[in-house]
Chain A
């Protein structure tokens, strides 16, 4: 993916850039808002990583200017302001995702992958998802594996649907929390893991292959190996 990184902190930008490059992405870096806007409008990127507070032009203003030109490139906002209402403001201004500093590189990568895919294939609400032999019908709320129908709660259905939409890509715990539970909150313990393990038990019985895999220290990925 081609990534534009707009971040004024040199050292942090260096680390992010090297992390992205190590994951196989092409990274262009700007250290101020004005240059960032010029490059974002002149060139095509798959995804933009934008710091919330920048010298020259504030991150949110840059985002506003970019969206005003009908540019729909996915934007991930980075901010030292981690509060919930900052997040809401960032998303309202046209951001596609929001992360508070400090963050784990793996989390950033997971979110960027999810965003980049959205950018390349315009999201049309799928009615039917399929990962290996697991089929999810989002209209009738039926999940089945081969001939076996799997009874799931509504929440479990949403978890498995979110994982399936991002099949093959890592989904972090906070991504799950933001997208499956409609509350902006910060649970103090890792309850998500227990929801996943329950879901796994239902999805996989006997000698069926596991479809939800744990990526240690990062999150989960749904795929058939």
Chain B
């Protein structure tokens, strides 16, 4: 519900409904003034005038003359039927055509129901009455029928109430429908944006072909995506070509250095320098190999060999492979996974990804620390490496999967800053999500592989 209220289109529809209600109320108010309030005022002053006249007759000519005047007034045909009641000081009703009146006189104009029965037919009347009591105790009520005006009043009220109710209901329903229709279009757009963010640059927003506002927006966004994709492709090809073209010259460089190495006897400073140079060339070669691999993975040009794998034995092999290194560093390396746990994935790539993560953990976790290779999951497979080392800040975690970026504390630690980029690329080709979470304390690097892959 709160989500509905947050929807702009729904709020707009609701605002229009309320605006419509206000205008209906305004029209009703004007109608009330014209058809109810003004006629009522006129009749009030008419009744007042008649009451004054009758009072004068009563005071000047006595009660009998008044009775005659009143009875004459009753018989005379007027637009509005006239009503009266004349009560003597002793309580005797001298003359009256009002069926009833309040026991206590009121100083205000009062409305008295005065339905009459004539030949079995009921006529509805309501009298607007001026009620006066004189010094000698004589009570005089003079009034006229206002039934038609009261009906107008009621009609106006009922109409206004219905219109407001119907408007509000239609406004709410229309707003809901509108927000749903617009929400769906926006949701398709957001879905595409999310897929693009997840790395699938070839994703496009569907266009309906109706050339409406959303279609035009979506077409523009699609053009933007095409442009971004083209730029990305260029950048990727360039880095791939660079890595590729460097290989043969590097191979030559390496063979020359090795030739040089053979010329120098072991132990001389020159030989040491040559060995250092060879180590640097090997490092370069590893960087290029990793770059090429990442770029092939990201570009979807690395054929996947998806197979059903026993995840626990994969982790066992991984832990076994790194156990000597962990022992040498005084780090406890444990496995947390239980058979049976099988998943469909590219075994070599997954091993590479986990090996990069474990390698990183071994670099950053201090001696005495603990590293855990874990896997679990029914449905989506959660697999990764958790440690209790220094961990990563939120900003670092967002940045470290970029090529050549490393955690802040990297002084003196080996690596080319490509390990996590490769993990991210491997996650991407598996349709998996790669997350770096706080392990409180430490880092929890996690791959979430969806079930039923490819």
Given known contacts A18-B259, A19-B255, A19-B258, is B348 in contact with A82 (CB within 8 Å)? Answer: no
User: Which chain A residues numbered 141 to 163 have a C-beta less than 8 Å away from chain B?
Assistant: 153, 155
Q: Are B359 and A187 in contact (CB under 8 A)?
A: yes
In the complex, A224 has a CB within 8 A of chain B = no
Q: Are B325 and A194 in contact (CB under 8 A)?
A: yes
Query: Shortest Cβ distance from A78 into chain B, in angstroms?
Result: 9
- List of B residues within 8 angstroms of A187 by Cβ: 321, 355, 359
- List of B residues within 8 angstroms of A84 by Cβ: 293, 302, 348
- List of B residues within 8 angstroms of A19 by Cβ: 255, 258-259
Measured CA separation A183–B322 after assembly (Å): 14
Partner of B292, one of A83, A153, A185: A83
Given known contacts A22-B262, A187-B321, is B255 in contact with A12 (CB within 8 Å)? Answer: yes
Given known contacts A12-B251, A18-B259, is B359 in contact with A194 (CB within 8 Å)? Answer: no
In the complex, A184 has a CB within 8 A of chain B = yes
User: Which chain B residues numbered 299 to 338 have a C-beta less than 8 Å away from chain A?
Assistant: 302-303, 317, 320-322, 324-325, 327-328
Question: Count the A residues whose beta carbon is within 8 Å of the partner chain — how many?
Answer: 37
Query: Shortest Cβ distance from B142 into chain A, in angstroms?
Result: 110
Query: Shortest Cβ distance from B440 into chain A, in angstroms?
Result: 27
In the complex, B256 has a CB within 8 A of chain A = yes
Measured CA separation A26–B359 after assembly (Å): 42
Query: Shortest Cβ distance from A34 into chain B, in angstroms?
Result: 21
Which of B98-106, B149-157, B274-282, B445-453 is near enough to bind chain A? B274-282
- List of B residues within 8 angstroms of A105 by Cβ: 254-255, 258
User: Which chain A residues numbered 46 to 102 have a C-beta less than 8 Å away from chain B?
Assistant: 80-85, 100-102
- List of A residues within 8 angstroms of B253 by Cβ: 102
- List of A residues within 8 angstroms of B302 by Cβ: 83-85
Query: Shortest Cβ distance from B62 into chain A, in angstroms?
Result: 126
Q: Are B359 and A188 in contact (CB under 8 A)?
A: yes
Q: Can you list, as one digit per residue, whether each of A96-129 has a CB less than 8 Å from chain B (1) or not (0)?
A: 0000111111100000000000000000000000
- List of B residues within 8 angstroms of A195 by Cβ: 321, 324
User: Which chain B residues numbered 248 to 295 have a C-beta less than 8 Å away from chain A?
Assistant: 248, 250-256, 258-259, 262, 275, 278, 281-282, 285-286, 288-290, 292-293
Instruction: Give the interface of B toward A (CB within 8 A).
Output: 244, 247-248, 250-256, 258-259, 262, 275, 278, 281-282, 285-286, 288-290, 292-293, 296, 302-303, 317, 320-322, 324-325, 327-328, 347-348, 351-352, 355-356, 359, 362, 414-416, 419
4 A-B pairs closest in CB distance: A102-B251, A194-B324, A15-B255, A102-B250
Instruction: Give the interface of A toward B (CB within 8 A).
Output: 9, 11-12, 15-16, 18-19, 22, 80-85, 100-106, 153, 155, 181, 183-189, 191, 194-195, 197-198, 217
